[in-house]
Structure 1
């Protein structure tokens, strides 16, 4: 009988996290070491207490839990021995931590977040469009292929973002996605410690954060806890069978996130929502496995420290294992109490969205807390259909916005809602409403209501795209981001007259908003729309802003006496956009069709 033999020269192929920091709240670090038959060797760590050694059914993995509390920065060799003979060594480093790192301030309602698809924004380094280390090559002629946008291109145009009024940048994932096709979107990651070489390097990503911070802007990383790509190196050699959800193998999610909170849900339906794969190329991670959730926690914290991040946007938040994602979120927020995380909770009911925000009284009924500070206001996005209504009705028109805000009582923190007209997954606003007037109305609302406004790249120059042609069409290249582009929309001279009309309105509104504390944290009073004219006020003890949105095609004259409780003693209001001063002490006010006012009252 031939007995299996163990390789005596096992080598370390990967260590994750590759290093850590001194003085961390999370001082107990579980270091994953990967290499052929590495688990058959005996690990020892110099001058560090090893509190646990975890092995799995796969001998290529070993998880070492190190207690780093009180240890100074420096190298701490991890030796792997066989019969007291050292076979391989890894110098695990504790780095010096940035001063005040634990108390970094995340994005908040004073910010305007600009969302980009980096592959489609700007190509700053054509030399990395095609890289040997990854499969899919650059091909700008393929609507769904890699077009070459990269970190260098983003850095080149940060002043453009600042001019626009943006104060934070959210990029879709930049970590390696080695899928054979459609890899440009980045959500099927194959290495979560490495920036995709077609975007640049880890060092370039760190530089992006530095350049943003120089401009008093913030960096938000799009984090994916729910799934990886099939090409992820750990998926190719699973640490444990239950590292991912298996049925066995693949099963499709039913996408019914309401099963996560439904007290009457069938167990099989809840399982297929939570455990089913998002798509066949994205294996579903099992956050109920302690090794998995700990790996994800440490990876997230590692990126915050390494790249000096200001926030996370978490993809498909409500598809995760409920308890596992709550542990992940709490761990990150425990490390950074002033940080911010916004979760994608793509639901169409305010109570169901509010369920996922931290300290929700709705989820408390089920003794559950996500610890998630911010959620995305998808019902406000849904209300954008108001601009497509020919005539206002009981349920249609600007009443849709009013009714959305009626339900603000459901949210524990309305100022920490992400508000938007579109994003990289939805229909393009400028495709649905092909005129600048409706765009201006939408931005007026997004820019003046409670919450954190988010703008999708290119909207500010009128960019459109037909989702019916595939996601690639709603993720078109930004004009001027590639050498040879005939239209350079990054500069006023390069933009068309129409593009400048979109841009100028957006820039004026959001530049004003940067210092408008009354919008950041003020209270709201809204009035029931009449004749499709919606009026609301944002106010605090120092200031009052009156917002008027006329969604009707024709001019409307309305009585100002109705708003006396908010106008109070003010006599004049200066429009933020036009600079015109209006008489708010008069009996009536007239507003042209498809027009808005943002009036600072005096």
Structure 2
């Protein structure tokens, strides 16, 4: 089936004929404005050029002027007469209200008010997340229902149905706000929420990656004002808010997809074409052009049209949308979904435009690759990418090779040549490839993977080993909601199985894991360990930004040290099923003249001058004295 048959509004010949007819024949129709995007802007931005999208029936027939002696530097019309892209120069403009005047050939005029607002103090220099943070990933629909009144909404297709595993369950922004103290108690400093903008698909819209309006919070989560309030409440508690941003695709229900500004707004083929997911072709010097095109321009799924970042109008729209959310909601960072599925030059321009405006703003990209060299290619100032004269300008990448290792090693009791803890050691031996290895997001799981507690059969010893690794190696640790109370989930049973409701997030839940009293003994065991570990980490600059020395694993035991001029931390992991006695003489270059080490979790003190006894499947985090 042709895509143009499946989606009639994408039919090229029909669109060309009807739009040309409307453009030339509708000049007597009084135009109207249905949407203005960005809905407002800010004075004093580093890039003074502002592209404003005006949308309404026949709007392109009009000539446009603006008040306050502001210069219009460009007016773009496309084959669709319902769009007008007007660029103004805001360089010398203070916060004020502007009036745009539209006049058609019949001398009919109408006006549109537009506001340039004042920025927050020191907005451009805002501090972002870094290796001193721990990021808590949650899915708002599955975390907590704080407002029952927005469970369903008239303007959206899918309604509340908690009985349906893949349905809308009613979690919302209010539920997050009400449980900020719980998140802070865990030692988290940052929240990454999966997307909150409107997703008006008829089914499976709860993950919100198929967005239908990127300037509007989904009403089943709350309002734009609620999102701003979430950031404000988090900042009161010294928590940071990271938005999950999607540059690669929108949902098929997006209002602009239903009336494309131009056929070039999205990537299209003669027949429906899905991406081949082989993103190695981007840097592969032997790759064919057709493979590259299908990788980058193919759609993720039929319900997610692929955005064309090669189109300057589309790219500018996405840049401004991202900056608008940072400024409006007072955001602290982005996580970018499917980062390297987008046109490489376009996504680099998008990223650089944001970091030029906010020099300290951190952006972590989902670059799901299978080798360190492939991931390092996508980090800012990569020497690997420089071979091809490319720079993504992306500050941070997600460490998928470490993730792959973490999901296997603790089930490998055999510590032979390439088994067990050697997998971790080998991963870190390639750290030299990264321009900024300390600015990587570390995780044992996320909303797209098997739950770590499922992988390890709810063996809390293995969970402790995985979390200790996340907390003590270089980079920024991320925790997936619910793992801290032992939640499990099998991805083989579908995505809904790894995105279960957090117990206690709904009125009437029998188990309320948000409180110590409401948690089971097993849940408290998980929680208490996790909170103690990450609360300790919050104050440890030696772990955040210290150097690392590690030693080749022996007998499935891995030892590494984090150190700076003031502190040394020794981490010892016994991945075998036997109690081991470790001779410490081998580690003399790091132990130096230290005599003892106090374990962070048990608070027991160990003599480190000769031998250390360590239990099977266990970890010691020793602060050396």
The TM-score with structure 1 as length reference comes to 0.99
**Partner of residue 579, structure 1:** 603
Q: Which residue of 2 aligns with 1:226?
A: 248
Aligned partner of residue 514 in structure 2, secondary structure: coil
Deviation at 1:8, TM superposition (A): 2.5
Residue aligning to 1:155: 177
Q: State the partner residue of 1:455.
A: 479
Give 1:326's match in structure 2, choosing from 319, 342, 348: 348
Q: State whether residues 7 and 37 of structure 1, in contact with CA within 8 Å, keep that contact through their aligned partners in structure 2.
A: no
**Which residue of the partner structure matches residue 67 of structure 2?**
46
Q: Does 1:432 align with 2:455?
A: yes
Aligned to 2:470: 446
Task: Name the structure 2 match of 1:311.
Answer: 333
Q: Quote how far apart the aligned CAs of 1:165 are.
A: 0.3
| Per-residue deviation, residues 398-423 of structure 1 (Å, max 9, x unmatched) | 11000000000000001100001000
Q: For 2:106 and 2:623, locate their aligned partners in 1 and report how far apart those are by CA, in whole Å.
A: 76
Contact 2:413–2:575 at 8 Å: present in 1 too? no
User: Is the aligned partner of 1:26 residue 2:47?
Assistant: yes
SS in 1 for 2:192: strand
Alpha-carbon separation, structure 1, partners of 2:271 and 2:359: 39
Quote the residue 1:196 is aligned against. Answer: 218
1:116 maps onto 2:138 in alignment = yes
Residues 20-78 of structure 1, C-alpha deviation per residue, up to 9 Å, x if partnerless? 11111121100010000100011111121100000000000010001011111110011
- Displacement, 1:83? 4.0
Residues 165-176 of structure 1: pairs in structure 2 closer than 5 A: 165-176=187-198
1:85 positional shift: 3.9
CA distance in 1, matches of 2:314, 2:616: 55
CA contact (8 A) 2:26 2:58 kept: no
Structure 2: how far apart are the matches of 1:164 and 1:5?
A: 61
Q: State the match for 1:484 in structure 2.
A: 508
Classify the secondary structure of the residue corresponding to 1:184.
coil
Partner of 2:36: 15
1:301 matched to 2:340? The reply is no
Query: Does the CA contact (< 8 Å) of 1:274 and 1:321 recur in 2?
Result: yes
Residue 378 of structure 1 is aligned with which of 400, 406, 418?
400
Contact kept? 2:27, 2:105, Cα under 8 Å: no
Shift of 1:10: 1.1
Match of 2:438, SS? helix
* 8 A Cα contact 2:571 2:619, kept in partner: yes
Whether 1:37 aligns to 2:58 is yes
CA distance in 2, matches of 1:125, 1:303: 23
Q: Distance in 1 between matches of 2:254 and 2:290?
A: 28
Partners of 1:12 and 1:88 within 8 A in 2: no
Aligned-partner Cα distance in 2 for 1:591–1:558: 8
For residues 311-336 of structure 1, give each alpha carbon's deviation from its aligned partner in whole angstroms, at most 9, with x where no partner exists.
00000001110000000000000000
Give me the whole-angstrom Cα distance separating, in 1, the residues matched to 2:496 and 2:371.
Answer: 28
Displacement of 1:443 in angstroms is: 0.3
1:516-540: CA deviation from partner (whole Å, max 9, x where unpaired)? 0000000000001111111000000
Pick aligned residue for 1:418 from 437, 441, 462: 441
Q: Distance in 2 between matches of 1:306 and 1:169?
A: 18
Once the two structures are TM-superposed, the CA of residue 135 in structure 1 deviates from its matched residue by: 0.3
- 2: distance between equivalents of 1:513 and 1:395? 30
Deviation at 1:176, TM superposition (A): 0.1
SS of the counterpart of 2:410?
Answer: helix
Shift of 1:248: 2.9
- By how many angstroms is 1:4 displaced? 3.6
Q: CA separation of 1:425/1:7 partners in 2, compared to 1, >3 Å: closer, same or farther?
A: farther
Root-mean-square deviation over aligned CA pairs: 1.2
Aligned match for 1:466, one of 468, 490, 504:
490
Distance (Å, rounded) in 1 between the aligned partners of 2:298 and 2:189: 37
Q: Distance in 1 between matches of 2:332 and 2:534?
A: 20
Residue correspondence of structure 1 range 163-312 to structure 2 within 5 A: 163-248=185-270, 250-312=272-334
Once residues 492 and 390 of structure 1 are traced to their aligned partners in structure 2, the CA distance between those partners, rounded to angstroms, is 34
Q: Secondary structure at the match of 2:441?
A: strand
Distance 1:109 1:86, change over 3 A: farther
1:136 maps to 158
Provide the residue aligned with 1:511 in structure 2: 535
CA contact (8 A) 1:287 1:325 kept: yes
Report how many residues are paired.
601
Give 1:316-395 correspondences, 5 Å limit: 316-384=338-406, 385-395=408-418
| Matches of 2:83 and 2:503, distance apart in 1 | 47
Structure 2 distance, partners of 1:271, 1:83, is 43
- Cα distance in 1 for partners of 2:107, 2:65 equals 11
What's the counterpart of residue 15 of structure 2?
A: none
Task: Give secondary structure in 2 for the equivalent of 1:535.
Answer: strand
Residue 310 of structure 2 aligns to a residue in which SS? coil
Give CA-to-partner distance per residue, 1:163-198, whole Å, 9 cap, x none. Answer: 000000000000000001110001000000000000
User: Whole-Å Cα distance in 2 between the matches of residues 494 and 88 of structure 1?
Assistant: 60
1:249 Cα deviation after fit: 5.5
Which residue in the other structure is 2:616 paired with? Answer: 593
Correspondence for 2:525: 501
Note if 1:549 corresponds to 2:573: yes
1:70 counterpart = 2:92? yes
2:427 to 404, 413, 429: 404
Check the 8 A contact 2:41/2:115 in 1, yes or no. Answer: yes
CA contact (8 A) 1:121 1:478 kept: yes
